[in-house]
Amino acid sequence: MGKKKISDAVIRRLPKYYRYLGDLLENGINRVSSNDLSKMTGFTASQIRQDLNNFGGFGQQGYGYDAMNLREEINKILGLNQKFRVVIVGAGNIGQAVANYAGFYEEGFEVLALFDKNPKLIGLRIRDIEIKDLDDLPGYLDDNEIDMGVICTPKAVSQDVADILTSHGIKAIWNFAPTDIKVDDDVAIEHVRMNESLYTLAYYYKQKNDTEE
Amino acid sequence: MGKKKISDAVIRRLPKYYRYLGDLLENGINRVSSNDLSKMTGFTASQIRQDLNNFGGFGQQGYGYDAMNLREEINKILGLNQKFRVVIVGAGNIGQAVANYAGFYEEGFEVLALFDKNPKLIGLRIRDIEIKDLDDLPGYLDDNEIDMGVICTPKAVSQDVADILTSHGIKAIWNFAPTDIKVDDDVAIEHVRMNESLYTLAYYYKQKNDTEE
């Protein structure tokens, strides 16, 4: 039986549900209805139920969802129940922030090394993780099983870095460089677009603060 | 005449056009057609033309767009042609990375101060910008004209920080804390959702790397 292709819009809502369920559980709430989730997320209750039905029947009519069970199921769907061995390329401000990113450590992502070409950074440690020479990246990837690369370099070198990662077997890339990166179809890639977020904010600030005509 | 309300989807494409036009100009290309932009962005040429037509007729039939002119027009639409005076609340790894964020300095966003409650950080300087005591934030906002606050605190305090910012006149908030923040309708807010990006990546990595059935 072939795998059903779930739409990207549904997939991107799952981490939101995951976050809200985590907040509920932190507050001692174990049971949640689709209406509750609707109030929290802003999505309609029927959208939420439809989204979750893609993956199985988690709820019970009249009861709602067991929050812990649902969160664990979403954890598995998102692939967070596996370990990810991560390298970060670029040990400047963004790379260091990512190395310290709590979201990694909460979910089984382990940062094994950072890489940079700046001799002032090479040899330093972030959270006891060594910053290694960028020249050693290919060899390191060959000698170690790495699942994910995070690109925190200037945009000019980001495609070259992606090519090194993918040509040495990396199949997941998290990109912070403000540029497009091309990879083959068997490589998963996500871009964190800080500029786009900031400029959208500038637009809405202007909209709300210009005097009315 | 009332302002036409442009859809959020259109607004969020504008920073992408802005980025691509910047790349073209950096490479000495001054003229671009909607077909060129379509190849670069992945949006259809007609979508691009339709988006830009919301704001005026920038292109010429048979010629395309003058890249510099178009970029300047998008700069104005996004409100990037004005100065933004910015404070960052939370001077940990994320706050420091944001203070060093080149995207700010390229577009007239000026970081005037950081705030934190950690005595080990107070008094230090990032790029010659002082880390001030969080207790001094309300007074600082009263004494200085600030346009935007960036929230880089743990999620537990992020709503309180937002409340301080908005009750002292801040109308634009850029939020990095992994939680919802409630603000009044006259406040523009954008959230950078790193967890959601990472977990979506985990999903697609799993999809591409599970063995086929």
CA B116 to chain centre: 22
What are φ and ψ of residue B108, in 5° steps?
80, 20
The structure tokens 């893609």 sit at: A54
Residues B2, A194 contacting (CB under 8 angstroms): no
Check CB contact of B199 with chain A, cutoff 8 Å.
yes
Chain B contact set for A178 (CB, 8 A): 19, 103
pLDDT in tens, A18-45: 999 999 999 999 999 999 999 999 999 9
| Confidence label for A1 from pLDDT (cuts 50, 70 and 90) | very low
Give, for B130, the enclosing helix (H) or strand (E): strand B129-133
ipTM above 0.85, yes or no: yes
Structure tokens that stand for B48 in this block:
């691009």
Q: Is the dihedral of CA B92, A95, B107, B38 positive or negative?
A: negative
Give, for B143, the enclosing helix (H) or strand (E): helix B137-143
Nearest CA in chain A to B80: A202
* pLDDT tops 60 at residue A171: yes
Query: Residue B59 half-sphere exposure, CB side, CA atoms within 13 Å?
Result: 20
With both helix axes pointing from N to C terminus, report the angle between A8-26 and A67-77 in degrees, rounded to the nearest 10: 140
Residues A208, B171 contacting (CB under 8 angstroms): yes
What are φ and ψ of residue A24, in 5° steps?
-60, -45
CA distance A116 to A135: 8
CA distance B117 to B134: 5
pTM of the model: 0.89
* B27-43 b/e (C-beta count within 10 Å ≥ 16 → b): eeeeebbbebbbebbeb
| Confidence label for B122 from pLDDT (cuts 50, 70 and 90) | very high
Looking at the complex, report in whole angstroms how far the Cα of residue A158 sits from the nearest Cα belonging to chain B. 14
pLDDT in tens, B150-187: 999 999 999 999 999 999 999 999 999 999 999 999 99
Check CB contact of A80 with chain B, cutoff 8 Å.
yes
In this complex, the residue of A18, A186, A196 whose CB is nearest that of residue B208 is A186
| Confidence label for A211 from pLDDT (cuts 50, 70 and 90) | low
Distant-in-sequence, close-in-space partners of B39: CB < 8 Å, separation ≥ 6: none
Q: Integer distance in angstroms from the first to the last C-alpha of chain A?
A: 59
CB interface of A with B, residues 119-138, below 8 Å? none
The segment(s) of chain B belonging to CATH 3.40.50.720 are 84-195
**With pLDDT > 90 as the criterion, what percentage of chain A qualifies?**
81
Residues B201, A109 contacting (CB under 8 angstroms): no
The number of helices, as runs of H, and strands, as runs of E, in chain A is 9, 9
Domain B8-77: top CATH class: mainly alpha
CA distance A78 to B205: 9
CB interface of B with A, residues 30-69, below 8 Å? 40
* pLDDT tops 80 at residue A137: yes
In this complex, the residue of A1, A78, A203 whose CB is nearest that of residue B203 is A78
The segment(s) of chain A belonging to CATH 1.10.10.10 are 8-77
Chain B contact set for A96 (CB, 8 A): 93, 97
Cβ contact (<8 Å) for B186 and A203? no
Q: Which of A61-75, B54-68, B190-204 has the least mean pLDDT?
A: B54-68
Interface probe for B, chosen from A17, A197, A212, A213 (most Cβ of B below 10 Å), is: A197
Inter-chain contacts counted by CB atoms under 8 A, chains A and B = 176
Distant-in-sequence, close-in-space partners of A25: CB < 8 Å, separation ≥ 6: A67, A68, A71
Helix (H, G, I), strand (E, B), or coil: what is residue A45? helix
Check CB contact of A85 with chain B, cutoff 8 Å.
no
In this complex, the residue of B84, B206, B208 whose CB is nearest that of residue A202 is B84
CA distance A119 to A123: 8
* pLDDT tops 50 at residue B54: yes
Check CB contact of A14 with chain B, cutoff 8 Å.
yes
CA distance A186 to A189: 10
pLDDT of residue B213: 40
CA proximity to A189, closest of A164, A213, A171: A171
Structure tokens that stand for A123 in this block:
């040899």
* pLDDT tops 90 at residue B142: yes
CATH no. of A84-195: 3.40.50.720
